[in-house]
Amino acid sequence: MKRIAIIGSGHLGQQIAYHIHHDSSDKVVAFFDEFQPLNTIIDHIPVIGGNRDVIAKYQQHEFDAVLIAIGYKHLDAKKELFQNLEGKVPFHTFIHSSCYKDQSASIGQGSVIYPGCVIDQNVKIEDNVLMNISCTVAHDTVIGKHSFLSPSIAIAGFVKIKEQCIIGINSTIIDNITMAAKTQIGGGGVVIKDIDEPGLYVGNPVKFVR
């Protein structure tokens, strides 16, 4: 059994803890949260400090590995936290047992793959990515670091999504697309050509909004 700490005790952190507890032998033993008082108990899990306490608590053997549960509205903070901890604290990688992951695919450290996802041949999911329920990623696609994939996304083959992208629920990305870092695709968006400039894109096919 591995003892996991989660940074962020809100709904996302609670969901991830739920899946870990119900789908693995590992145990979430602590939350870190800047906005909760020390020793607050959330779903039977104590808050043992804020973000600055993570390294010290690891050195005190309070936990074995950490996950970052920060939502899509704060990806800069998620990236900064990851970079501050990388090489100092081990990251946990969680892949729900209901997922299909081809043996040739790779999942980076600190990434979380929710139930029902399909990860095809030669797919590369980089570090600190969250993939929500029932996403499909086809062959030879790369999902960049610190990205957030909402439920039921379909991504075709040979797609390159660069870091800190947000893909909205039920979006579709056709094959051979490259997407600039910090791109956001609104819910139901259909991407049919490369996106070279960061920003919010919505519609079918998607168009730049801001």
Gap between the Cα atoms of 126 and 165, Å rounded: 12
Gap between the Cα atoms of 65 and 135, Å rounded: 25
Residue 34 Rama label (left phi>0; alpha psi -120 to 50; beta): alpha
Residues in the chain: 210
The answer to the question of whether 71 is labelled as a binding residue is: yes
Query: What sign results for the dihedral spanned by CA atoms 54, 86, 95, 79?
Result: positive
Active site residues: 139
DSSP assignment letter at 92: P
User: What are residue 157's DSSP bridge partners?
Assistant: none
The answer to the question of whether 174 is labelled as a binding residue is: no
Query: What sign results for the dihedral spanned by CA atoms 69, 75, 78, 79?
Result: positive
DSSP assignment string, 128-190? T-EE-TT-EE-TT-EE-TT-EE-TT-EE-TT-EE-TT-EE-TT-EE-TT-EE-TTEEE-TT-E
The answer to the question of whether 110 is labelled as a binding residue is: no
Is 144:165 a contact under the CB 8 Å cutoff?
Answer: yes
Whole-number Cα distances in Å, 6 to 51, 140, 161, 163, 200: 10, 30, 26, 22, 29
Annotated binding site for acetyl-CoA: 169, 187
Annotated binding site: 71, 169, 187
Annotated binding site for substrate: 71
